[in-house]
Every structure is written in structure tokens, then in C-alpha cells.
Amino acid sequence: MSMQIKRPKGTQDMLPSQAAKWRTVEETVRQVAEQFGFKEMRTPVFEETGLYVRSVGDTSDVVTKEMYTVSSKGSDTFTLRPEGTAGIVRALLENGVMNEGFPQKVYYLMPCYRHEKPQAGRLREFHQFGLEMFGAASPYADAEIILLASTVLESLGIENVSLHINSIGCPECRAKYRDALREYFAPHESELCETCQERLKKNPMRLLDCKSPICKEIAKNAPTTVDFLCDDCRAHFDTLKDILTDFGVAFTVDPKIVRGLDYYTRTVFEFISEDIGAQGTVCGGGRYDGLVSELGGQAVPALGFGMGLERIIMTMENSGCEFEAPKTPDLYIAPMGEKAQRKAALLADAVRRNGYAAETDLIGRGIKPQMRYADKVGAKFVVVIGDNELESGEAKLKNMRTGDETPVVLENFMAAFSSAFINEVFENGLGDDIVGAMTDEISGEDKE
């Protein structure tokens, strides 16, 4: 009978064989974010729809085309989060965190949802690492955010990535720029796609994001934001460029970058990979100094970025980056017979309580199938327990890498196993698997 139910279009399953890749990325981004002083935060997977309409912008593609919105009983509507920033701002305001002093620095790992055409690097359910900083207006804050993103990519071993930066100015700059765009695009209005004809009236900056080949061609010679910056915004952008240069961070000023969400102001940036084709942006962010006040708080400068984990992993795979090795059992206990199975279960429990990973047979296999299974799952050590071992009180601990066998007394099994395991770690670099706290086991004492 064929499988009738399949995963929804635009989603993907993370299988156990892929988990180590995700763990590599997640642990790295957490470590780097915390080195920069950011603390983890989590928010609900859905919010009131009005939150995204107010923050993202009612003319953006996200709001007009891509949100998953449902109605509850009554007139309330809720939307699966299409991005992380708006929910973070809502949560910080609602819980009074903005009153606790600045800067506030938070990061998050979360699934997001957008209804768009699935393709490589673009899914309807995707996962983001993002971070936000509130209360810092200095271009040094912009530089720190960009440097943090660069550090993450470098720590993951990702190369062939270029940083593109731009400034879209403050509301005053943008008003003049919108007027210039309307003047530029007006003679071409009839040639624009239907969506862009509407954008021309409401928010002409959205025309620069259009994927239509005709609209992209028309936009090639459009005015650029940097030509309309006020003195303050220009000074902010010039200082940012000087700081990045001091840090040795290479960048390209790219006037076409405006980002896809309406809340951005001043600095916008993207890290673009050469290794994943058309969907090359692996990180995008910038400054959004008006967002907090737009959502009901005081005027607070803010900035941050989002990094798509699926694209990061795809980039790492295409670049040949190294991932953390999959976790494997430290010990497999192979029982032969009912009495041996009970002893094996007790030993496995003791091993796990002492911080190691252990497996034993649960389906009544013979010794040869058990040994094949232990080899398949990558067990570092194996011990076989049958009637003879129970009677003599001794068994042989086999190192699966070397094939060496060491006699062990079952009564003192934990100490013997710990000693063998730690020697293997030190001699062959198997990792930092619990080496530090094993002196009690080696001496035969129980851990507290």
C-alpha cells in the first residue's frame, strides 16, 4: 500500500542522519552570539496579524502575498510568524524589558513561515538565526552586528561570501528618494507588472525588489538611495565604512540593496554566497530605528539581522565545510540470554547515569546481528555478557576501533569502562566526551 500522506509543499524533514549538521550550526551561532553579549529569547510561533501589518508594511510582499493567516472565534486573526523581529519587539515591550537599560541584546533560533514558490534555498517553512540590539544609535553598533555575522560565517568555515552594504537613510531622506523614484518610473508605468504599478503609488522602493525581468531592467538606472542622504545619514554611513575598513572587513557598497521589509532605516546589508546559485543571500539585516515606536514604545534605535539556517547548511555542503560528527554510543552491551539481558539493562543504566551513551539489545537478536548493529551505529566499545560471564563475574571489553579486548570485572565495571574510555579519548582525540569528571569512577567511587 503506497503512502498517501506526504509532508506539505515547501517544507522538509530533518532526519537523524542530518541532525549533526543542524547541531553544528546551532551550537556555533549560539556560542558566537553569547561571546558578543547576546542572550537567547523565544516568542510564540504565531502573533496577532496586525503586528506584522504595522511592522513589516502593508505594501510588502510578505504582507500582501506570503503570510499564513487564520481566523479564530470572533473577529481575531492570527498569523504564523513570517520573520522574527516584530515578535521580539512586541515581547520586549509587553514584558517591560525595554525599561531595564540599554543596550538590550537578544538572539533567537526559530521557524518562520511564508507562502511563496518553493525552490532551492527558499522554503515555506524555514529556520532563522537572528539577533536584535536596542538602544544603540552609533555606527559602531552597526559594525558590531556586521562583525558578528561575519564571525559566524567564518566560524562555520564558509568562504566565498561577500558583504554588500547600503544606506537607505532616515524618513526625511526616504521621502525625497521616493519622490525621485516616482519621477523616474512614471514614464514606464504601463510597462511595469501589475504589482509594481500599485507599488509605484504606495511605496516605490518596493519596485527595486521586483523579480520580474522587465521591472528589473527598467530599474537598472533608477536613482540610488545614497544620492539622497541627509548630512547625518551620510556621516553615519561614512563612519560605518571607516570602521569596517579598520576591522579589515571587505565590503561593496551596493545601492540596489533596500531589503524586503518596510521597517528598515539607514544601514542595510547582505552577505551573499557564490556557492548556492540564485538564492545567494545567507544573511540580511540592518537598522530599523522607527520600529519600536511604531509598535507602541518610545523611540529607540534598533538593528539586527536574520540568517537562514537551510541556506547556511546548503552553503556549507556545497563548500565542503566540516560538520560535527554524529553522536554515537560510547558502549554497546550485547546480552545472550534472559539473565544476561537483565544484567545488561542494569549496566546500561549505570553507564548512562555516569554521563556516557549506552545501548543494549531490545529485540532478542543473536550475538552476530548484535555485533553488526554495534558496528553500524558506531559504538566505541562493546561488551558481551552471557552465562559464562555471569558465572565468572568477568567479561571482555572490546575497543571497536583497535579490536583490543580488555578483561573487566563486572562488579567494578563502571570504573574499568571509564578508564578505558578516557584513555581512548586522550590517545586518539575522540572529543571532549566527559573527560573532566571521571576521577570518581576511575577510583571505583559513585558520582554524586
Q: In the chain, where are the structural domains located?
A: 16-170+230-319, 331-442
Pairwise CA distance, residues 254 & 359, whole Å: 55
Query: Residue 436: its pLDDT value, please?
Result: 43
Is the distance from CB of 10 to CB of 125 less than 8 angstroms?
Answer: yes
Is the distance from CB of 79 to CB of 52 less than 8 angstroms?
Answer: yes
Query: Residue 429: its pLDDT value, please?
Result: 56
Q: Which residue is listed with cell 544620492?
A: 227
> Is the four-CA dihedral 84, 55, 123, 270 of positive or negative sign?
negative
φ/ψ (deg, to 5) at 166:
-155, 170
Is the distance from CB of 103 to CB of 303 less than 8 angstroms?
Answer: no
What is the CATH topology of the domain spanning 331-442?
A: Rossmann fold (3.40.50)
φ/ψ (deg, to 5) at 367:
-70, -40
User: Given the DSSP bridges, would you call strands 265-273 and 302-308 parallel, antiparallel or unpaired?
Assistant: unpaired
Query: Residue 440: its pLDDT value, please?
Result: 42
Largest CA distance in the chain: 95
φ/ψ (deg, to 5) at 232:
-65, -45
Q: Which CATH number is 16-170+230-319's, of 3.40.50.1820, 3.30.450.40, 3.40.462.40, 3.30.930.10?
A: 3.30.930.10
Query: Residue 428: its pLDDT value, please?
Result: 65
Give the list of residues 6+ apart from residue 157 with CB closer than 8 angstroms, or none: 316, 319, 321, 322
Query: Residue 204: its pLDDT value, please?
Result: 87
Is the distance from CB of 233 to CB of 255 less than 8 angstroms?
Answer: no
Is the distance from CB of 105 to CB of 35 less than 8 angstroms?
Answer: no
Instruction: Read off the pTM.
Output: 0.86
Query: pLDDT in tens for each of the 448 residues of the chain?
Result: 566 889 999 999 999 989 999 999 999 999 999 999 999 999 999 999 999 988 877 667 677 778 999 887 777 899 999 999 999 999 999 999 999 999 999 999 999 999 988 887 789 999 999 999 999 999 999 999 999 999 999 999 999 899 999 999 998 988 898 899 899 999 999 999 988 888 888 888 878 878 788 998 998 889 998 999 999 999 999 999 999 999 999 999 998 887 766 678 899 999 999 877 666 899 999 999 989 998 999 999 999 999 999 999 999 998 889 998 889 999 999 999 999 999 999 999 999 999 999 999 999 999 999 999 999 999 999 999 999 999 999 999 999 999 999 999 999 999 999 999 988 877 665 444 444 434 344 334 443 3
* Closest listed residue to residue 31, CA positions, set 142, 156, 158, 163: 156
